[in-house]
Structure 1
Amino acid sequence: MNNYKFINHKDCEFFPCHKTNKPEEFNCMFCYCPLYMLGEKCGGNFKYTPHGIKDCSNCNLPHIKEVGYDHIQKKMLEVIEIVQQEYLSKKEQEEKK
Protein backbone atom coordinates (compact mmCIF):
# COMPACT_ATOMS: atom_id res chain seq x y z
CA MET A 1 0.00 0.00 0.00
CA ASN A 2 1.15 3.51 -0.72
CA ASN A 3 -2.10 5.40 -0.28
CA TYR A 4 -0.25 8.55 0.77
CA LYS A 5 1.10 8.83 -2.81
CA PHE A 6 -2.28 9.27 -4.50
CA ILE A 7 -5.21 11.69 -4.24
CA ASN A 8 -8.02 11.73 -6.80
CA HIS A 9 -10.09 14.85 -6.21
CA LYS A 10 -12.85 14.19 -8.74
CA ASP A 11 -15.13 16.77 -7.09
CA CYS A 12 -12.72 19.62 -7.90
CA GLU A 13 -14.22 22.10 -10.35
CA PHE A 14 -11.03 21.85 -12.46
CA PHE A 15 -10.84 18.04 -12.49
CA PRO A 16 -9.06 16.84 -14.48
CA CYS A 17 -6.85 19.84 -15.15
CA HIS A 18 -5.03 17.99 -17.95
CA LYS A 19 -6.40 15.75 -20.68
CA THR A 20 -6.42 12.10 -19.64
CA ASN A 21 -7.88 8.83 -20.82
CA LYS A 22 -7.90 7.49 -17.25
CA PRO A 23 -9.49 10.07 -14.93
CA GLU A 24 -9.79 7.45 -12.17
CA GLU A 25 -5.98 7.22 -12.12
CA PHE A 26 -5.37 10.99 -12.25
CA ASN A 27 -3.28 12.01 -9.23
CA CYS A 28 -4.16 15.43 -7.85
CA MET A 29 -1.51 15.41 -5.11
CA PHE A 30 0.70 17.85 -6.99
CA CYS A 31 -1.98 20.23 -8.17
CA TYR A 32 0.75 22.83 -8.59
CA CYS A 33 3.97 21.21 -9.65
CA PRO A 34 6.81 21.82 -7.18
CA LEU A 35 9.31 21.25 -10.02
CA TYR A 36 8.42 24.39 -11.97
CA MET A 37 11.55 26.11 -10.68
CA LEU A 38 13.78 23.44 -12.23
CA GLY A 39 13.02 24.80 -15.69
CA GLU A 40 14.25 22.38 -18.36
CA LYS A 41 15.50 19.92 -15.73
CA CYS A 42 12.03 19.04 -14.39
CA GLY A 43 11.65 16.01 -16.65
CA GLY A 44 8.14 16.87 -17.80
CA ASN A 45 6.52 17.64 -21.14
CA PHE A 46 6.45 21.44 -21.25
CA LYS A 47 7.20 24.33 -23.56
CA TYR A 48 8.00 27.98 -23.11
CA THR A 49 5.65 30.70 -24.30
CA PRO A 50 7.05 33.54 -26.43
CA HIS A 51 7.18 35.57 -23.19
CA GLY A 52 9.40 33.01 -21.46
CA ILE A 53 6.68 31.51 -19.26
CA LYS A 54 6.88 27.77 -18.71
CA ASP A 55 3.68 26.17 -20.04
CA CYS A 56 3.05 22.80 -18.39
CA SER A 57 -0.46 22.28 -19.75
CA ASN A 58 0.67 19.23 -21.78
CA CYS A 59 2.48 17.62 -18.87
CA ASN A 60 0.84 14.78 -16.98
CA LEU A 61 3.98 13.49 -15.27
CA PRO A 62 3.08 14.62 -11.73
CA HIS A 63 -0.41 13.20 -12.22
CA ILE A 64 0.52 9.66 -13.34
CA LYS A 65 -0.58 7.31 -10.58
CA GLU A 66 2.34 4.87 -10.64
CA VAL A 67 5.29 7.20 -11.31
CA GLY A 68 4.39 10.82 -10.55
CA TYR A 69 4.94 10.82 -6.80
CA ASP A 70 8.29 9.02 -7.01
CA HIS A 71 9.50 11.30 -9.81
CA ILE A 72 8.62 14.42 -7.81
CA GLN A 73 10.33 13.10 -4.67
CA LYS A 74 13.50 12.26 -6.57
CA LYS A 75 13.61 15.66 -8.29
CA MET A 76 12.93 17.48 -5.00
CA LEU A 77 16.46 16.51 -4.01
CA GLU A 78 17.63 18.78 -6.84
CA VAL A 79 15.35 21.58 -5.59
CA ILE A 80 16.82 21.22 -2.09
CA GLU A 81 20.34 21.32 -3.52
CA ILE A 82 19.60 24.50 -5.51
CA VAL A 83 18.17 26.26 -2.46
CA GLN A 84 21.08 25.09 -0.32
CA GLN A 85 23.64 26.36 -2.85
CA GLU A 86 21.86 29.73 -3.07
CA TYR A 87 21.88 30.02 0.72
CA LEU A 88 25.56 29.08 1.01
CA SER A 89 26.52 31.46 -1.78
CA LYS A 90 24.62 34.32 -0.15
CA LYS A 91 26.16 33.52 3.22
CA GLU A 92 29.65 33.49 1.68
CA GLN A 93 29.04 36.87 0.04
CA GLU A 94 27.85 38.35 3.33
CA GLU A 95 30.96 37.06 5.13
CA LYS A 96 33.20 38.79 2.56
CA LYS A 97 31.69 42.20 3.40
Structure 2
Amino acid sequence: MEKPYWEGKEYSYFSHKKCEFFPCHKNADPDDFNCLFCYCPLYALGEKCGGNFRYTEKGIKDCTNCMLPHKRKNYGYVTGKYQELADMMKRAKESISK
Protein backbone atom coordinates (compact mmCIF):
# COMPACT_ATOMS: atom_id res chain seq x y z
CA MET A 1 0.00 0.00 0.00
CA GLU A 2 1.36 3.38 -1.03
CA LYS A 3 1.52 6.00 1.69
CA PRO A 4 -0.16 9.40 1.25
CA TYR A 5 1.83 12.10 -0.60
CA TRP A 6 2.13 14.23 2.55
CA GLU A 7 3.24 11.52 4.96
CA GLY A 8 6.76 12.12 6.25
CA LYS A 9 6.90 15.64 4.78
CA GLU A 10 7.98 18.53 7.01
CA TYR A 11 5.05 20.75 5.96
CA SER A 12 2.51 18.27 7.34
CA TYR A 13 3.77 18.37 10.93
CA PHE A 14 4.97 21.10 13.25
CA SER A 15 5.44 20.78 16.99
CA HIS A 16 6.05 24.02 18.86
CA LYS A 17 7.33 22.62 22.14
CA LYS A 18 8.52 26.04 23.33
CA CYS A 19 4.98 27.42 23.21
CA GLU A 20 3.75 28.56 26.61
CA PHE A 21 0.63 26.43 26.17
CA PHE A 22 2.24 23.26 24.78
CA PRO A 23 0.49 20.92 24.67
CA CYS A 24 -2.74 22.87 24.84
CA HIS A 25 -4.96 19.81 25.40
CA LYS A 26 -4.86 17.71 28.55
CA ASN A 27 -3.73 14.10 28.10
CA ALA A 28 -2.14 14.91 24.74
CA ASP A 29 0.92 12.97 23.63
CA PRO A 30 3.64 15.65 23.38
CA ASP A 31 5.66 13.45 21.00
CA ASP A 32 2.76 13.26 18.51
CA PHE A 33 1.21 16.71 18.93
CA ASN A 34 0.84 18.64 15.68
CA CYS A 35 0.61 22.40 16.24
CA LEU A 36 0.15 23.10 12.53
CA PHE A 37 -3.60 23.50 13.01
CA CYS A 38 -3.36 25.44 16.26
CA TYR A 39 -6.78 26.93 15.52
CA CYS A 40 -8.77 24.17 13.91
CA PRO A 41 -9.84 24.99 10.35
CA LEU A 42 -12.70 22.50 10.72
CA TYR A 43 -14.42 24.37 13.56
CA ALA A 44 -16.75 26.10 11.10
CA LEU A 45 -18.06 22.75 9.86
CA GLY A 46 -19.95 22.33 13.13
CA GLU A 47 -21.17 18.76 13.55
CA LYS A 48 -19.57 17.73 10.23
CA CYS A 49 -15.98 18.32 11.42
CA GLY A 50 -15.48 14.71 12.52
CA GLY A 51 -13.85 15.61 15.83
CA ASN A 52 -14.63 14.90 19.46
CA PHE A 53 -16.53 18.00 20.54
CA ARG A 54 -19.56 18.96 22.57
CA TYR A 55 -21.85 21.95 22.75
CA THR A 56 -21.97 23.90 26.00
CA GLU A 57 -25.24 24.88 27.64
CA LYS A 58 -24.89 28.23 25.88
CA GLY A 59 -24.58 26.52 22.48
CA ILE A 60 -20.86 27.10 22.02
CA LYS A 61 -18.82 24.37 20.35
CA ASP A 62 -16.25 23.10 22.86
CA CYS A 63 -13.31 21.22 21.32
CA THR A 64 -11.34 20.78 24.54
CA ASN A 65 -11.33 16.99 24.21
CA CYS A 66 -10.61 16.90 20.48
CA MET A 67 -7.23 15.73 19.24
CA LEU A 68 -8.23 15.29 15.58
CA PRO A 69 -6.22 18.21 14.10
CA HIS A 70 -3.32 17.66 16.50
CA LYS A 71 -2.34 14.12 15.52
CA ARG A 72 0.33 13.73 12.86
CA LYS A 73 -1.70 11.06 11.01
CA ASN A 74 -4.70 13.38 10.52
CA TYR A 75 -3.09 15.98 8.25
CA GLY A 76 -4.73 14.38 5.20
CA TYR A 77 -8.13 14.26 6.89
CA VAL A 78 -7.99 17.96 7.78
CA THR A 79 -6.79 19.14 4.38
CA GLY A 80 -9.26 16.75 2.74
CA LYS A 81 -12.07 18.81 4.28
CA TYR A 82 -10.95 22.09 2.67
CA GLN A 83 -13.23 21.66 -0.36
CA GLU A 84 -16.18 21.16 1.97
CA LEU A 85 -15.24 24.40 3.74
CA ALA A 86 -14.90 26.24 0.42
CA ASP A 87 -18.30 24.98 -0.71
CA MET A 88 -19.85 26.08 2.59
CA MET A 89 -18.38 29.58 2.18
CA LYS A 90 -19.62 29.75 -1.41
CA ARG A 91 -23.16 28.82 -0.32
CA ALA A 92 -23.02 31.42 2.46
CA LYS A 93 -21.89 34.10 0.02
CA GLU A 94 -24.64 33.16 -2.44
CA SER A 95 -27.33 33.32 0.26
CA ILE A 96 -26.15 36.80 1.28
CA SER A 97 -26.25 37.98 -2.34
CA LYS A 98 -29.91 37.03 -2.75
> Aligned Cα RMSD in Å?
1.3
Rounded to whole Å, the distance in 2 between the matches of 1:19 and 1:46 is: 14
Task: Give the alignment partner of residue 58 of structure 2, picking from 51, 55, 62.
Answer: 51
Say which structure is richer in helix: 1
Task: Give the alignment partner of residue 93 of structure 2, picking from 78, 87, 90.
Answer: 87
Q: How many residues align?
A: 91
- Length-normalised TM-score, structure 2: 0.85
- Length-normalised TM-score, structure 1: 0.86
- Where has structure 1 moved over 3 Å in runs of 4 or more? none
- After TM superposition, give the deviation of residue 70 of structure 1 in Å: 1.0
**1:7, 1:28 within 8 Å by CA — same for their partners in 2?**
yes
Q: Which residue of 2 aligns with 1:77?
A: 83
Structure 2 portions without partners, runs of 5+ = 1-7
Sequence identity (%): 52
- Assess, with a 3 A threshold, how the Cα gap between structure 1 residues 21 and 14 changes in structure 2: closer, same or farther: closer
